[in-house]
């Protein structure tokens, strides 16, 4: 890790990056934003922005249940619960019993309420309020390893699933007629999003996680014409917002997560302008 720190110290001759916690945060942003940016392209194409929002909220329940069950590791509780929750929403959505956004809304509010119920017992919620806004400056080298593994895992799965997901997002029936198991592919994608969201939520926070997933992809979509451009723009904008937001937050003494999201929002505004200028 010392080697990585000294390399970072050399390539980032800024006052902000003298400190190891800023270097850790920098690396976390470097791993996390491309991961979310890439997954975001499909979340946007599949019109799942609301879904990922609900997924972020379910982290509260995950931690709550982890405490009830006496699990010492929050992350495991969140991951297990997040995956189950995601698959459940996916299956109910596919059964077509109610319109998708209604289903998601029911799930979202239920999980927030259940999470609050458990976490706020005896007025102890303040202990968990950090979860709502996240703290990227608290990332440790051990956490970075998790993020690195998640990024590698996602890239592998993403390579295997992307084409099938793309066809499914264009037309389910056509995709099925070409031998794609659309339900399985969709559920696999949803699980990937769940894992990415749960891994990042402690650093970004329940309230802002969805912005990191959706904003760069939505901005990329305004500029891109092809799938490749979409992926590239989304990753570049996510990285840019992440690193610019983190650096600015140090000098302006603001919340890192909020600064990152505001830079993304600015990118989105610029992308809209680019798009309307083209027409």
Partner 1 sequence: MPLHHCELCHIDLDRISVRRGGQILLQDVSMHIHCGQLTVLIGQNGAGKTTLIRALLGELPHTGLIRHVDGRGLDIPHLRTGYVPQHLQFDREMPVTVRDFMAASLSKRPVWTGVGKKNRVRVDEALAAVSADGLADQPLGSCSGGELQRVLLALAMNPAPDLLVLDEPVSGIDRNGLKMFLDTLLDLKAKHHMAILLVSHDLRFVREYADHVVLLDKSVLSQGSAAEVFASQEFSAVFGCSGEEEEAE
SS (H, E, C) the chain: CHHHHHHHHHHCCCHHHHCHHHHHHHHHHHHHHHHHHHHHHHHHHCCCHHHHHHHHHHHHHHHHHHHHCCCCCHHHHHHHHHHHHHHHHHHHHHHCCCCHHHHHHHHHHHHHHHHHHHHCHHHCHHHHCHHHHCCHHHCCHHHHHHHHHHHHHHHHHHHHHHHHHHHHHHCHHHHHHCCCCHHHHHHHHHHHHHHHHHHHHHHHCCCCHHHHHHHHHHHHHHHCCCHHHHHHHHHHHHHHHHHHHHHHHHHHCCCHHHHHHHHHHHHHHHHHHHHHHHC
**Per rule CB under 8 A, is residue 238 in the interface with partner 1?**
no
Backbone angles phi, psi at 179, to 5 degrees: 80, 15
- Tokens representing residue 136 in the block: 């990227």
Position 118 contacts partner 1 (CB under 8 A): no
Stretch that binds partner 1, among 60-68, 105-113, 124-132, 223-231 (CB under 8 A): 223-231
Q: Which is nearer to partner 1, 89 or 231 (CB)?
A: 231
Tell me how long the chain is: 279
Measured from the CB of residue 274, what is the shortest distance to partner 1 in angstroms?
13
Is 67 or 176 the residue whose CB approaches partner 1 more closely?
A: 176
Query: In the complex, what is the shortest distance from the CB of residue 41 to partner 1, in angstroms, rounded to a whole number?
Result: 7
Which CB, 255 or 271, lies closer to partner 1? Answer: 271
CA dist., res. 201 & res. 140, Å (int): 14
C-beta of 124 vs 225, nearer to partner 1: 225
Interface residue with partner 1 among 25, 212, 221, 237 (CB under 8 A) is 221
Q: How far, in Å, CA of 45 to CA of 141, rounded?
A: 34
Q: Are 234 and 279 in contact (CB under 8 A)?
A: no
Does 15 participate in binding partner 1 (rule CB under 8 A)? no
Told to check if 268 binds partner 1 by CB under 8 A, we report no
Q: How far is the CB of 273 from partner 1 (least distance, A)?
A: 16
Residues numbered 166-205 forming contacts with partner 1, rule: CB under 8 A: 166-167, 169-171, 173-174, 176-178
Binding residue for partner 1, selected from 6, 47, 102, 129, defined by CB under 8 A: 47
Q: Which of 3, 10, 97, 226 binds partner 1 (CB under 8 A)?
A: 226
Q: Which is nearer to partner 1, 15 or 171 (by Cβ)?
A: 171
The site that binds partner 1 (CB under 8 A) totals a number of residues, namely 30
Site mask for partner 1 (CB under 8 A), range 27-46, x = bound: -----------x--x---x-
Q: Give the interface segment with partner 1, choosing from 105-113, 135-143, 158-166, 189-197 (CB under 8 A).
A: 158-166
Binding footprint of partner 1 on the chain (CB under 8 A): 38, 41, 45, 47, 158-160, 162-164, 166-167, 169-171, 173-174, 176-178, 220-221, 224-231
């Amino acid at each position: 890790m010392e080697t990585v720190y000294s390399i970072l110290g050399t390539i980032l001759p800024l006052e902000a990056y003298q400190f190891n916690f800023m270097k850790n945060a920098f690396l976390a942003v470097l791993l996390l934003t491309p991961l979310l940016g890439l997954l975001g392209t499909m979340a946007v194409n599949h019109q799942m922005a609301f879904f990922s929002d609900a997924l972020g909220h379910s982290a509260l329940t995950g931690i709550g249940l982890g405490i009830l069950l006496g699990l010492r590791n929050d992350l495991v509780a969140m991951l297990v619960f997040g995956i189950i929750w995601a698959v459940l929403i996916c299956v109910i959505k596919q059964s077509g019993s109610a319109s998708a956004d209604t289903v998601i809304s029911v799930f979202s509010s239920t999980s927030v309420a259940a999470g609050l119920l458990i976490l706020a017992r005896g007025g102890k919620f303040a202990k968990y309020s950090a979860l709502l806004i996240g703290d990227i400056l608290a990332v440790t080298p051990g956490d970075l390893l998790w993020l690195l593994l998640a990024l590698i895992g996602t890239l592998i799965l993403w390579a295997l699933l992307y084409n099938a997901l793309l066809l499914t997002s264009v037309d389910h029936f056509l995709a099925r007629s070409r031998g794609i198991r659309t339900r399985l592919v969709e559920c696999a994608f949803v699980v990937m999003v769940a894992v990415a969201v749960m891994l990042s939520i402690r650093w970004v926070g329940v309230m802002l996680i969805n912005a990191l997933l959706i904003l760069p992809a939505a901005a990329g979509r305004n500029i891109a014409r092809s799938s490749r451009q979409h992926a590239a723009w989304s990753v570049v904008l996510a990285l840019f917002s992440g690193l610019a937001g983190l650096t600015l937050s140090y000098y302006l003494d603001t919340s890192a997560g909020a600064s990152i999201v505001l830079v993304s929002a600015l990118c989105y505004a610029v992308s809209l302008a680019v798009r309307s200028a083209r027409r």
